[in-house]
């Protein structure tokens, strides 16, 4: 009796509108229009995976490989661009080519000026690197012809040029601001800017007037593409280069337009391991003409007491431009005019360690 009363008061479960029934007991969402009843229940979703993340535990991320941009920044090419001074090595021979003009920095034969020339295989286009470590690290460049240093001047550039003249000079003091440079990143590939101690930049000329071939220095905050220089290393050659043929100097007459100069030659013979400078180590003689071939023969005659059976071609003459200038092997004829009246020459004998340590640029190498 009690059971019948409990079933009488049991609420009847009715499906909500919008649901479909199967066998009158289960309800599922109505998936068909117009109240169409499904003959089977819709597929159930896969059970949700339990949450395994714990916010209170912070695990270290797995190690990742450096991005491509970071690897690119560590490449040797980028490192060279970031540190242009590292591209120059002490004692190395280089060429400097203007990025815009395409010509090379040329040491003029008058041993005073510098200019731009298209010829590549020339000793006048070869410069030797001298790294100065004093009050800072500076780059010094001296010519492979007569050893004079690339320098700035206070002389205004000629008409059609910008800034002040650049030229050559001796290294006759311990610290000469005019010959001290720093290589600065240009922002264009491997090209560099050459900035002097006063903040001026070495600049090419002749972009629109090709006859203006002078090289100048400009003090400017706006860097121009005319200041971009491409550094081309010159490999060393095997052996000693030959000398040009002899020049026959005519006798002095009133009809000869160019007088033949007499020069004072101050010379010394190097020790086997290198020159030793003393107060009385220099000897002197007078030399007439420009021929380096005749000059070597004359030096061989004056040093015959130390030749020990060697011939003149077993000698190498090195010229020194200034008291603190580095020695430069002399393989070109002497300059014209009377600009260099005195030559300081150190003679090296073949077969000695000092002779074998000399480095000669191979200007004909590609």
For 277, the domain range is 262-356
Which of 100, 102, 145, 109 has the alpha carbon at shortest distance from 127? 145
- Asked whether residue 317 is domain-assigned, the answer is yes
Q: Which residues contact 37 (CB under 8 A, 6 or more apart)?
A: 20, 21, 22
| Among 214, 234, 254, residue at a domain's last position | 234
Class of residue 186 by CB neighbours under 10 A (exposed 0-12, middle 13-18, buried 19+): buried
C-alpha 225/C-alpha 133 separation (Å) is 29
Task: Output the domain CATH number for residue 127.
Answer: 2.80.10.50
Reported as a single tens digit per residue, the pLDDT across 86-136 is 889 999 999 999 999 999 999 999 999 999 999 999 999 999 999 999 888
CB 352 within 8 A of CB 114: no
* Residue 64 in domain: no
Query: Does residue 267 share a domain with residue 132?
Result: no
Hunting for tokens 């002399």 — which residue is that?
330
Q: What is the pLDDT of residues 153-210, one digit of tens each?
A: 999 988 888 899 999 999 999 889 999 999 998 877 789 999 999 899 999 998 888 8
Reported as a pLDDT band with limits 50, 70 and 90, residue 294 is very high
pLDDT band for position 46 (cuts 50, 70, 90):
low
**Over residues 22-35, mean pLDDT:** 46
pLDDT, residue 20, reads 46
pLDDT level of residue 336 (50, 70, 90 thresholds): confident
Integer distance in angstroms from the first to the last C-alpha of the chain?
119
Q: Domain count of the chain?
A: 2
pTM of the model: 0.76
Tens of pLDDT, residues 176-188: 999 999 999 887 7
The CATH number covering residue 285 comes to 3.10.20.90
Cα distances from 183 to residues 124, 175, 246, in angstroms, run 21, 18, 40
Give the whole-angstrom CA distance, residue 246 versus residue 293.
5
Query: Could you tell me if residue 222 is inside a domain?
Result: yes
The answer to whether position 94 is within a domain reads yes
């Amino acid at each position: 009796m009690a059971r019948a009363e409990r079933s009488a008061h049991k609420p009847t479960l009715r499906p909500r509108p919008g649901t479909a029934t199967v066998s009158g007991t289960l309800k599922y969402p109505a998936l068909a229009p117009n109240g169409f009843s499904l003959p089977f229940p819709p597929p159930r979703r896969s059970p949700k995976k339990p949450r395994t993340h714990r916010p209170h535990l912070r695990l270290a991320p797995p190690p990742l490989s450096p991005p491509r941009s970071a690897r690119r920044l560590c490449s040797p090419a980028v490192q060279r661009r970031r540190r242009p001074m590292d591209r120059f090595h002490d004692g190395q021979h280089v060429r400097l080519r203007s990025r815009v003009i395409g010509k090379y920095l040329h040491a003029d034969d008058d041993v005073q000026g510098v200019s731009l020339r298209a010829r590549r295989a020339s000793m006048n286009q070869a410069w030797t690197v001298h790294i100065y470590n004093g009050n800072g690290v500076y780059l010094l460049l001296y010519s492979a012809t007569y050893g004079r240093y690339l320098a700035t001047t206070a002389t205004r550039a000629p008409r059609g040029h910008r800034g002040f003249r650049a030229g050559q000079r001796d290294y006759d003091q311990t610290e000469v601001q005019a010959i001290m440079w720093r290589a600065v990143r240009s922002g264009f590939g491997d090209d560099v800017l050459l900035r002097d101690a006063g903040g001026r930049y070495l600049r090419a000329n002749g972009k629109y007037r090709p006859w203006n071939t002078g090289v100048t220095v400009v003090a400017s905050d706006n860097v121009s593409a005319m200041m971009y220089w491409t550094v081309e290393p010159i490999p060393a050659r095997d052996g000693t280069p030959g000398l040009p043929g002899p020049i026959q100097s005519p006798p002095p007459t009133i009809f000869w337009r160019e007088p033949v100069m007499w020069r004072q030659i101050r010379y010394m013979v190097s020790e086997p391991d290198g020159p030793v400078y003393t107060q009385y180590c220099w000897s002197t003689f007078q030399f007439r003409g420009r021929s380096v071939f005749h000059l070597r023969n004359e030096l061989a005659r004056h040093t015959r007491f130390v030749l020990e059976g060697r011939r003149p071609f077993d000698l190498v003459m090195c010229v020194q431009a200034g008291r603190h200038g580095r020695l430069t092997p002399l393989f070109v004829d002497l300059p014209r005019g009377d600009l260099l009246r005195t030559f300081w020459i150190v003679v090296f004998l073949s077969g000695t360690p000092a002779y074998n340590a000399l480095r000669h640029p191979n200007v004909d190498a590609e």
